[in-house]
Amino acid sequence: MDRKMKAAVFKGNGVLAVEEVDVPVISNGDEVLLEVEACSICGTDVHILEVPPAGFDVEPGLIMGHEIVGKIVDAGESVRTLKKGDRAVVEPNDYCGVCRYCLKGLTNHCENQISIGVNRNGGFTRYVKITEKVAHKISDRLETNIAVFAEPLACVVNGIHKLGVIPGQSAFVIGAGPIALIYVQMLKASGATPIIVSEPSGKRREYAEKCGADFTVNPNDKDPAEFVKSVTGIGVDIVIDVVGSRVEDGIRAVRKGGKVLLFGFNTRAEPKIIQHQIVLKEIQLLGSWIARSTFPEAVQILEKGVLDLEKLITHIMPLSKINEGIALLAKGEGLEIIVTPE
């Protein structure tokens, strides 16, 4: 095995540079070394590279990338569930298992959380070192380009659990970026109908329709909440804000007694909340933060081919072009952009 590898390293101030770094070596018994097959670009990566970074505190020198699929090439002596040659997807938010939140089962709120690609070296490279408990085994059959969806899908599954969607429920999804489109596909697979999507980009609205949206609306042309009511009469059963700033639209579009899931994360947004409407309409406002114990389910969904995620892949590019890929996602011109190591 080579001792050096190419990696996309965060240099501070919005700069990501591809350079040579040392291949990591296992130093703890519970670690595995993964040879990266692919790593996709996430909205989080775009936020990290904003100046100043939006909501993420990343030290210069860090290898970015957290939506990782790879093959185990080395394993520490206490690793029990994986062996060399196994393939795995990575749960990027590693948890301690013993803090007050972990003991409550809220591992996504771990007080000692370590986030791969944010504060520990990530997957925009050839090799990445992770702990056994965040490496989730996948079959040899599962295509690499589908397996990379495990992380965003696991986050979506966390949200879907909170909504408890049942067939026939109506849903309104705000946004049509990669995560929103996974939500649309999950809602479709769960039997939700009609599914209405609000999104300013015409290209993304088209994708939403391909993913199962029954109606789409451009929020710059029409008031999306009024549009939702024109379709459903009393409003929708479920709203999902994947943008992170549209809670007002959600409160207006949901029916009385309905649920509004807030998934999008935007630290700069300060939306107005009409509090009395939440009381009057008996709305359940729910937050959903990353993935919690949902990787096994996400892997099952991928292995069984329940969703058609291939249609969300817009670009596959080598590591040397990663900045191009990040720019494409930032501009909304790309959806799922997959990076392969060099």
Residue 75, CB-side half-sphere exposure with 13 Å CA sphere: 17
Closest approach of Zn ion to the CB of residue 305, in Å: 22
Among 56, 95, 215, 295, binds Zn ion (CB under 5 A): 95
Backbone angles phi, psi at 305, to 5 degrees: 65, 35
CB 250 within 8 A of CB 256: no
Distance CA(82)–CA(249), nearest Å, equals: 46
If one asks whether residue 295 binds Zn ion (CB under 5 A), the answer comes out as no
Positions in 141-180 near Zn ion (CB under 5 A): none
How many other C-beta atoms can be found within 10 angstroms of the C-beta atom of residue 208? Answer: 24
At 15, the amino acid letter reads V
Task: Tell me: does residue 46 bind Zn ion (CB under 5 A).
Answer: no
Task: Identify which range of 29-37, 100-108, 231-239, 290-298 contacts Zn ion by CB under 5 A.
Answer: 100-108
Q: Which of 97, 175, 156 is nearest to 288 (CA)?
A: 156
Least distance to Zn ion, CB of residue 107, Å: 7
Q: Which long-range contacts (CB under 8 A, 24 or more apart) does 101-110 make?
A: 105/292, 105/293, 106/292, 107/292, 107/293, 108/158, 108/289, 108/290, 108/291, 108/292, 109/289
* Binding to Zn ion in span 209-268, by CB under 5 A: none
Whether 47 is catalytic: yes
Candidate segments 29-37, 104-112, 184-192, 306-314, binder of Zn ion by CB under 5 A: 104-112
- Comparing CB distances to Zn ion, the nearer of 193 and 340 is 340
Instruction: Closer to Zn ion by CB, 95 or 227: give it.
Output: 95
Question: Least distance to Zn ion from the beta carbon of 110, Å?
Answer: 3
Stretch that binds Zn ion, among 34-42, 128-136, 139-147, 229-237 (CB under 5 A): 34-42
| Minimum distance, C-beta of residue 64 to Zn ion, in the bound complex (Å) | 11
Among 102, 186, 208, 322, binds Zn ion (CB under 5 A): 102
Closest CB to Zn ion among 114 and 316?
114
Contact between 96 and Zn ion per CB under 5 A: yes
CA pair distance 16, 64, nearest whole angstrom? 9
Q: Residue 163 or 290: which CB sits closer to Zn ion?
A: 290
Rule CB under 5 A: is residue 110 a binding residue for Zn ion?
yes
Report the alpha-carbon distance of residue 89 to residue 77 in Å, rounded: 21
Per CB under 5 A, does 99 bind Zn ion? yes
Choose between 64 and 75: whose C-beta lies nearer to Zn ion: 64
User: Is 111 exposed, middle or buried (CB count within 10 Å of its CB: 0-12, 13-18, 19+)?
Assistant: exposed
> What single-letter DSSP state applies at residue 24?
P
Length of the chain: 342
Query: Which residues sit at the interface with Zn ion, rule CB under 5 A?
Result: 42, 95-96, 99, 102, 110
Task: Please list the active-site residues.
Answer: 44, 47
